[in-house]
Amino acid sequence: MDQDTLRFLLREAVRETVTEVLQTVLELDRTAFLQAHGGRRNGYYPRRLETTFGQVDLKVPRDREGQYYPALALRPPPGGRGGGGHRPRSARRPR
């Protein structure tokens, strides 16, 4: 295996690991929010992040009441709200 192939495989492995870790953090954050504040799950909206290791596609969880916003700040694209749950900083839950 040449060095370029090895570099590509390592980069891809790190990108997949970053995706899995971020997805898990998002799920745990929503679960903690719902346990503390009540409410129900209500699916996901997609969010793409650019990282040092490439693009990461996430499913950002939301709640039915629209009160949950991830502690992991995932800003919406310019000119769009980007899905349920995004609110101005003043309306976000305290950390």
**For the segment 27-44, what is each residue's pLDDT rounded down to a tens digit?**
999 999 999 999 999 999
CB atoms within 10 A of CB 33: 19
The answer on pLDDT for 80 being more than 80 is no
As given in the structure block, the two tokens for residue 84 are 């349920």
The answer on pLDDT for 22 being more than 80 is yes
The answer on pLDDT for 11 being more than 60 is yes
Domain count, the chain: 1
User: Rounded distance, CA 86 to CA 52, Å?
Assistant: 25
This prediction has a pTM of 0.72
| Range of the structural domain that residue 8 is part of | 3-91
Average pLDDT for residues 65-84, to the nearest whole number? 67
Share of the chain above pLDDT 90, in %: 66
User: Rounded distance, CA 15 to CA 22, Å?
Assistant: 11
Query: What local confidence, expressed as pLDDT, does residue 43 receive?
Result: 95
Q: Is 74 exposed, middle or buried (0-12, 13-18, 19+ CB in 10 A)?
A: middle
